[in-house]
Structure 1
Amino acid sequence: MNLDDFSDLIERPDSGIRRAAEERRERLAVPPGTLGRLDELGEWLSAAQGSVPVRPIDRPRVVLFAGDHGVAELDVSGRPAGSAHELVRDVLDGASPVAVLARRMNVPVRLIDAGLDCDPQLLPEEVVRHRVRRGSGRIDIEDALTAEEAEQAVRLGMAVADEEADSGTDLVVLGDVSVGGTTAAAALIAALCGTDASVVTGRGGAGIDDLAWMRKCAAVRDALRRARPVLGDQLELLAAVGGADLAATTGFLLQSAVRRMPVILDGVVSAACALVAQRAAFRAPDWWLAGQVSGEPAQSKALDRMALNPLLDHGVTVGEGTGALLALPLVQAAAALAAELPEKAEELEEPEKAEEPEKAVEGKPVEG
């Protein structure tokens, strides 16, 4: 598998449709510019859908890829290594922030176990049946995945994207459920952006103290040494310092762009996968929105590289797609406004015509 092949498969949203959407916006009764970014979002959705006026977002879905990362054994996370399955269980039981919001918004949530480090019997079959491996390797000293596992994970993400597109999903809220995932994400972004470990290393969604942050910086630094020799091959990069969930997310993003299915990115993990996908297919980011600012410095680096401007900045760091899901009503509002606001009333009354001078009647002069 060569991820560069996606470059020929992915097209940009229809520019002609976008121009038509912009022209329609000019005709609306509400003055241009008064709706701020909602105008831009509505036009982007029109181009993505190939429709003017834009269609409503009726069938969104939250998609979460789950995995454990061996680097968490170094105490670089606010949670114990190998405990991501507990977060998955909270989502399934409706006890996590993303589950509460999804229930309130009536948005279904799909969880995919790409690399959890737990007994499969602890979770439902529909969650664990796609697992690539049990936990990903410790990226500071070893590869996260074998080459075969990396390809399997990418293909898993592609298959999920195809299933969602075929089922009629019209927009995906993308997130992750992981322990140690932000460390792998920071290593990927540092490698792709050419920055040092300290520049991209944050404190994760659960928050860590200064000593844990220093350990995390060291882990990212060591992972970077292993990442730089394979920067020319995205699949090798994901195998070296990614993980099963990150590779699956990358495959999902690429295939979603192929299928013209818009995606809202959540935090630093989805941003890292998007950056890998952009390296493979430069048009792919045109199909994505950045849902929120997570506070992770690596996310800011990645979004800046992809020229994606986050929709929200509420200080939400919990992960699991929560911040991206909060942005969904904004996108739905943009679609509704673009489609339902009336156009300006046209002036139906024509100006009165000037009276023409009286014409001469045959045999009778015009009176002067």
Structure 2
Amino acid sequence: MSEDRWNTVLVLGGIRSGKSGFAESLVASAPSVRYVATAVGGEDDPEWLARIEAHQLRRPQSWTTEETGGDPARLTELIAQAGPDETLLVDDLGGWVAAVLDPARQPKDDEADVAALAEAVRGAVARVVLVSPEVGLSLVPVTPVGRAFADALGTTNQALASACDGVVLVVAGQPTWLRNGPLAPAQASVEAPVEAPVEAPVEAPTVVSRPVPVTTPVTPTPPSPPPAQPTTVVEPVVPAEPEPGLAAALSGSTMTLPLVASGLTEIKPGMDLPLPSSDSGPDARDRLVTIDLPGGGLGALGEAVEFAAATQSTVTPRAWVGVRVVVIAGRHTGGAVAGVDAADVERRVAEAEAGTGLLGRLAGQAGADIAVLRTAETGAMEDGPAASEEAVEAALRDGWQLADGAADAGRDAILLAGIGAGTEAAATAVLAATTGAEPVATLPRVQAPGGRFDDAAWMVRCAAIRDALHRIRQEPRGATDILRQIGGLDVAVATGVLLGAAARRIPVLLDGPLGIAAGLVARDLASQTRHWCLLPEAGTLALVKQGADVLGLTPVLQVGLDLGEGANALAVLPLIRTAVGLASASPVHPALLDEVGDDGLDDLSDDDDLAEFAEPEPHGPGPATIASA
């Protein structure tokens, strides 16, 4: 058994419970994973094929897929023959049981097949994760075939639960370990200091400036505010000394996750983060059809309404009123910064810190404040690792603390932005390494002031990415490996922001290459993070569009803005907030009401499809009866 207490684990859950996503997070740190697909058939079912494609898009490029299809014995052979350095993810046993019960295989000893699979799992030397539907909580099927399947699957689950080292049940995206869960490290807390209330000018955003050196986990030192600037500089959120004990652990701002003795959150693959509501979002979208709005309604803006409803767990979400723009200023070196004007980049970062420039103007109009974090310099990706393992871990924690700071300040949304030299090249390398995308097709062109394109600099960046990918071709492709080798510290900080925001249940608005790259890395640490992300505007970059497609993010708008990271989302934020507010405040259309003043719900007895489920009127004082036809 491995150090996290399991070598084989059975992940149980109902339909749309999040069991597959949780199982994928358990093996996210493996250099390579053999994904065993058991489903068979469905070639003529577009909806089923779409489900399979969605699963395929979630898998990292380093994974391989093997289909057992209609040969149940093949799965038993794969598990028995897998070596100690292999990792298998079997999704799911429902398909395997269906193949076992296939009439074309009968007569067969089905119980012997189940026993052979359980024995293979019990003796497995590889890491094996098996996903299986939990059928014991549903109604008994009304057909003989359905009952036979439920009985066989229940028997299989029991046999494998006794054979596996660990068993976990996933309900509504929340896993509960039934046996041998991960070891809980020593707990402590990070006590968040109380920020003094400040009064920000109406026209300019509040700026939280935090230049944190991420090469070593030291206490950040705030800079002096620039003179004569019409913005209020809020002191940075500085973690206090950790207080041991249960009371301190329960009061910690990141108590959703286990903590290490240093008082900082332990960030590792397979983290258990919360998910947005799986019902509120679809219910809110269904409600949009019924509300009293002229014309065809909100159109594409319904995507934002559904996202807000899911993240707020309500059918009538409120518009975000306290948005914090988190600006990460990264500094790459080598070919990634070919054609970059370092002085111009510094000027734009300084403007963000002062609350001026385009970002400051848009933030002021949207009523958002700005937090700026400068990272340490990242090495040239083509020459060797871009950052050390210790620096990456510190950067992840810095990003997490930025999300904590936004939550502690009462912000209800984070807008993730980046202003840095070489960020686009690093994001392109991350996209290529994690999804197999072609760098020359996704790397943005290098644009100089005046609308001139520097194609020579673009070719240098392409060469740097090519050399970096060639250098790591035999290296592990885990999340922290990608950050250390090619992503760099700004992508690491952005990844930490996404993880911390998910832990605190704060939605994140992505804009530009940095947020997309961070989303791709964060999904291998905690797959739940992408469900807390919204892409307000697609922009013009192929890098952003292709990465968003892999993450399953549908852009709310496709206006074609090309203002740079952060500015696109800020420009359309007022329109999105208006849509969310309208959807929440608008009543049901009068034509859909049975009478004035009702709640907009149809009477049950008037619905022919549901009348048979209505409570019958009692005939006399005795029990209710229904006369036979």
TM range (shorter): 0.7 to 0.9
SS of the aligned residue for 2:411 comes to: coil
- In structure 1, C-alpha distance between the alignment counterparts of 2:425 and 2:288, rounded to whole Å: 43
Structure 1 residue aligned with 2:361: 100
Aligned to 1:77: 339
Aligned to 1:58: 321
Work out whether residues 325 and 415 of structure 2, in 8 Å CA contact, stay in contact via their aligned partners in 1.
yes
Question: Mind listing any 5+ residue stretches in structure 1 that lack a counterpart?
Answer: 116-134, 350-368
1:141–1:162: structure 2 CA closer, same or farther, 3 Å change rule? same
User: Is residue 306 of structure 1 aligned with residue 551 of structure 2?
Assistant: yes
Q: What is the CA–CA distance in structure 2 between the aligned matches of 1:18 and 1:113, rounded to whole Å?
A: 36
Bigger shift: 320-329 or 92-101?
92-101
- Would you say 1:155 and 2:420 are equivalent positions? no
**Alpha-carbon distance in structure 1 between the residues aligned to 2:446 and 2:580:** 33
Equivalent pair of 2:446/2:455 in contact (CA under 8 Å): no
The residue identity in structure 2 corresponding to 1:107 is A
1:31–1:75 Cα change, 3 Å: closer
Residue 195 to residue 37, structure 1, CA distance change in 2 (3 Å): closer
Backbone CA RMSD of aligned residues: 2.3
SS in 2 for 1:111: strand
The corresponding residue for 1:279 is 524
- Distance in 1, Cα, partners of 2:543 & 2:411: 29
Change (3 A) 1:293 1:142: same
Give the aligned partner of residue 128 of structure 1: none
1:326 aligns with 2:568: no
Amino acid at match of 1:348: E
Which residues of 2 match residues 1-368 of structure 1 at below 5 A?
A: 3-6=268-271, 8-11=272-275, 13-30=276-293, 34-71=297-334, 76-80=338-342, 84-115=345-376, 135-204=377-446, 208-345=453-590, 346-348=593-595
SS of aligned partner of 1:280: coil
Inter-partner Cα distance in structure 1 for 2:303 and 2:459: 41
Question: Aligned partners of 1:111, 1:87: CA distance in 2, in Å?
Answer: 11
Partner of residue 51, structure 2: none
- From the superposition, tell whether residues 304 and 16 of structure 1 become closer, same or farther in structure 2 (CA, over 3 Å): closer
- SS of residue in 2 equivalent to 1:333: helix
Which ranges of structure 2 fall in alignment gaps of 5 or more residues?
A: 1-265, 597-629
For these two proteins, the number of residue pairs brought into alignment is 326
Residues 149-174 of structure 1 show CA distances to partners (whole Å, capped at 9, x for unaligned) of 00000011011111112222111111
> 1:204 touches 1:317 (CA, 8 Å); kept in 2?
no
The more displaced of 237-246 and 36-45 is: 36-45
Equivalent-residue separation in structure 1 for 2:285 and 2:355 (angstroms): 41
Q: Which is helix-richer, 1 or 2?
A: 1
Higher-RCO chain (CA-CA 8 Å, sequence separation at least 6): 1
Q: Deviations over 1:118-146 (max 9, x none)?
A: xxxxxxxxxxxxxxxxx111111021110
Which amino acid is the alignment partner of residue 458 of structure 2?
W
> By how many angstroms is 1:191 displaced?
0.6
Pick closer, same or farther for the CA change 1:316–1:17 going to 2, 3 Å.
closer
- Report Cα offsets for 1:160-215 as digits up to 9, x if no partner: 11111222211111100101111111111111111333122221565741111111
Could you tell me which amino acid in structure 2 is paired with residue 93 of structure 1? A
Distance (Å, rounded) in 1 between the aligned partners of 2:463 and 2:390: 28
- Summarize the Cα distance change of 1:205–1:107 in structure 2 as closer, same or farther, 3 Å threshold: farther
